[in-house]
Amino acid sequence: MSNINERIDAGYYTNNDTYPTNPKKVCQHCNVHVGIVPPKFCPECGKPFIDEYNARKEVYKNEMSKHRRQDSALVNLFKTDLIEEYGHDRDNEKAKLLVEKCWSERHSNGYREVVAMFEDFEEIL
Ligand SMILES: [Zn+2]
């Protein structure tokens, strides 16, 4: 079985789903930008706007929350794998605390940095 750094490099903890796009206030029928406040009807072609826009917004919100759930599941998987990689029980409270501290300090620099910091401190567990 590969080690955690190899799994990081292989994208094992990366959310590969397309990042959802916030719908623009553009008419689906004629491509006109309808302005800041979404109108009931498109000022250009007169077709209904607000209902379609709200439906697209709803789809976006659902996709976004699905995306965030996937992100969070992958992060939790990474944290558990990291704890177990160093031979600790996944429910070890001190290991969980250490991984949270390493995560908050280093995750903006990438998963490998979290692993490096965890490795520096895990012997105190
Ligand atoms: Zn239009």
pLDDT at position 2 is: 85
Centre of ligand 1 from the C-alpha of residue 26, in Å: 8
pLDDT per residue as tens digits for the range 19-32: 999 999 999 999 99
**Residue 23's pLDDT is what?**
95
| pLDDT computed for residue 99 by the predictor | 98
How much distance in Å is there from the Cα of 32 to the middle of ligand 1? Answer: 6
**Across the chain, what does the average pLDDT equal?**
96
| CA of residue 49 to ligand 1 center, whole Å | 8
Confidence of residue 108 (pLDDT cuts 50, 70, 90): very high
Ligand 1 centre distance from Cα of residue 19 (Å) = 27
CA–centroid distance, residue 65 to ligand 1 (Å): 29
CA of 20 to the centre of ligand 1 (A): 23
CA distance 69 to 67: 5
The fraction of the chain above a pLDDT of 90, given in percent, is 97
- In this prediction, residue 36 carries a pLDDT of 93
Q: Please tell me the predicted confidence (pLDDT) of residue 77.
A: 97
In the reported structure, the alpha carbon of residue 59 is separated from the centroid of ligand 1 by a whole-number distance in angstroms of 20
Q: What's the average model confidence in pLDDT over 47-71?
A: 97
- The C-alpha atoms of residue 66 and residue 61 are separated, in whole angstroms, by 9
- Residue 63's pLDDT is 97
Question: Residue 113 contacts by C-beta under 8 Å, 6 or more apart in sequence?
Answer: 106, 107
| 53 C-alpha to ligand 1 centroid (Å) | 12
Give percent above pLDDT 70 in the chain: 99
Task: Name the helix (H) or strand (E) containing 57.
Answer: helix 50-85
pLDDT > 90? residue 1: no
User: Whole-angstrom distance between the N-terminal and C-terminal Cα of the chain?
Assistant: 24
Distance between Cα 63 and ligand 1 center (Å): 25
